[in-house]
Each structure stands twice: as C-alpha cells, then as structure tokens.
Amino acid sequence: MADGNCEDALEELYSFLDGELDELRRAHIKRHLDDCTPCLEVYDFHAELRVMISDKCRDQVPRELRDRIARILGEQAM
C-alpha cells in the first residue's frame, strides 16, 4: 500500500481499527491518516461510532423488564 493511497487506507480501515494489521501495514495507514485530512475524518467517524455502539451495548436491561419477559415467555410455553 502506498502511503498516499486513500482507497487502500480506507479499504483496511476496519482492520486498522480492530488491531488486526501487522506493524508495517499499521504504520503505513497511520502515516497516511496523519497526512490526509479526509481519510482522518472518515477514521474519526468510524472510531467514534464504534465507541458509541460499544457504550450502548453495555447498558444493562432493567431487572423488572427481564422478569416480565421471562414471565410472559413462561406463560406462552404452557
């Protein structure tokens, strides 16, 4: 991947975010993001989106709701 190739950098963006790239490929993408504002904005958007989704997915279901659902499912099974 060339340091200045937006298409290559964006193609590997999810692997970059997931930490799945080797050090060399990660360094190439990081260097590209440091030099390319449009790609950095795409990276920032996806990184922030992942944080928001992660935060929302960690919310606990209230105990009352879990009990209610279990009760309803139990009644339907009869």
pLDDT digits (tens, 9 = 90+) for 18-53: 999 999 999 999 999 999 999 999 999 999 999 988
- The whole-model pTM stands at 0.64
Q: Read out DSSP for 11-73?
A: HTHHHHHTT-S-HHHHHHHHHHHHH-HHHHHHHHHHHHHHHHHHHHHTPPPPHHHHHHHHHHH
Domain ranges of the chain: 6-77
Residue from 27, 38, 29, 31 nearest 11 by CA = 29
Percent of the chain surpassing pLDDT 70: 91
Domain topology for 6-77: Arc Repressor Mutant, subunit A (1.10.10)
